[in-house]
Amino acid sequence: MTDGSPRAGSFHALGFLPVRFLRASLRNLPPERAIAWGAACGRFVARLGGSGARVARINLALAFPEKSERERESLLQGVYANMGRVVAELALLQGPHREELLAGVRMEGLENLAAAEATSPNGAIMVMTAHFGSWDLCAAALSDRGHALTVVHRGFPNPDLEAMFSEIRRGRDGDLEELKMGPRAVTGVLGALRRGRKLVVLADQNAKPDEGVFVPFFGVMAATRSAPALIAMRRGIPVLPAFVFREGESARHTVRLLPPLDLKLLSGDSDDALESGVGLMTRAIEDAVRTAPDHWLWLHRRWKTRPDGGDATRPAGFTYPERRGLIRRGRRAFRRWRARNPSPLGG
């Protein structure tokens, strides 16, 4: 049975119901009221705990060992509150207040964008960001201002969710295309750069051992994808860090376009030079997270992949909890059921 089967479609539709409910509940509210509601819901979820909160506590302890447990718990509340605001803004971007929300996004550092375009071989730029703040709002604001964007992302197994996020990121007249990570993504990335587009990459996620290199992130070695740095360094494409910061607890934001990173042109195989480039990109992300630690997605298992033979900088007893979410268990049960009940149509 293929993913396009009626049974798979029914499962995806069922999984999309909570998102549909949230969207219907929030999209028509005034922005400030919607994000206040989202923040309250986020704090409530933080109090419920669960594996996400446990992962976040481990990550915060790794990144901020100098902070007390009470300080980190307060920060965790702020992380969940900001996540709730982001969810509310995703709903608002699909409702009548979309233009109002986008109008509240201020661009800072446009001269850095111009400098990157001027030094690019054909105007192509790699815009490097992270799961930081309302990053989808950042993409929507850039697209809305007429920038030709190609966004590289993991994608979602649920096609309804995938279509929703594509709609969110696309501006009124913006030229936006999306590429899912995978073996075929490199061809799309190189094609986008040849066409002089702005390639948006999120460079803050854990990588498998064969996908990248280990570089320090908050003083702990983190497996980080090397492909973005490798492509930029071999082709002389400027890498422009960009992060969206919320103004207080409001629905207003500032997108900070930072100066292009000083990545060296890479010719041939040079592991040290590549590791240096990946490290430079990762430090830019760490600087942004240190500036506004409640903006980053601390629920991600950023330090999951470990160097062979262990890591001296890793605290003793460092172990992420097993994934036991209700939705995840439902997916596993559905896959087992599907394996026992193959489609008569094949697949």
> What residue type is assigned to position 329 of the chain?
R
Q: At 199, is the secondary structure helix, strand, or coil? A: strand
Q: 235: closest CA among 115, 116, 124, 114?
A: 124
**How long is the chain?**
347
Task: List the beta strands (DSSP E) in the chain.
Answer: 105-108, 125-129, 149-153, 176-180, 198-202, 212-217, 220-225, 239-246, 253-257
At residue 225's C-alpha, the angle toward residues 223 and 226, to 5°, is 115
Q: 151: closest CA among 181, 183, 120?
A: 181
- Residue 292, token pair as written in the block: 């506004």
Distance CA 127, CA 143 (A): 13
With contact defined as beta carbons under 8 Å apart, do 139 and 102 qualify? no
> What residue type is assigned to position 70 of the chain?
R
Distance CA 129, CA 213 (A): 18
Distance CA 166, CA 179 (A): 11
Distance CA 81, CA 14 (A): 26
Alpha-carbon distances, residue 77 vs 35, 84, 94, 311, 338 (angstroms): 15, 11, 27, 30, 39
With contact defined as beta carbons under 8 Å apart, do 271 and 151 qualify? no
Distance CA 93, CA 276 (A): 38
pLDDT of residue 16: 42
With contact defined as beta carbons under 8 Å apart, do 101 and 89 qualify? yes
How many CB atoms lie under 10 A from the CB of residue 279?
17
Q: 165: closest CA among 207, 196, 206, 136?
A: 136
Distance CA 156, CA 127 (A): 22
Q: At 265, is the secondary structure helix, strand, or coil? A: coil
Q: 123: closest CA among 48, 40, 194?
A: 194
Q: At 26, is the secondary structure helix, strand, or coil? A: helix
Q: Where are the domains of the chain?
A: 6-326
pLDDT of residue 1: 37
Owner of token pair 């596993």: 332
pLDDT in tens, the chain (347 residues): 344 444 444 444 444 445 566 777 788 899 999 999 999 989 998 998 888 899 999 999 999 999 999 999 999 999 999 989 988 888 888 889 989 999 999 999 999 999 999 999 999 999 999 999 998 888 888 888 888 888 887 655 555 555 666 666 665 555 667 676 666 778 888 999 999 999 999 999 999 988 899 999 999 999 999 999 999 999 999 999 999 999 999 999 999 999 999 998 776 668 889 999 999 999 999 999 999 999 999 999 999 998 875 554 555 557 888 776 555 566 556 566 656 665 433 33
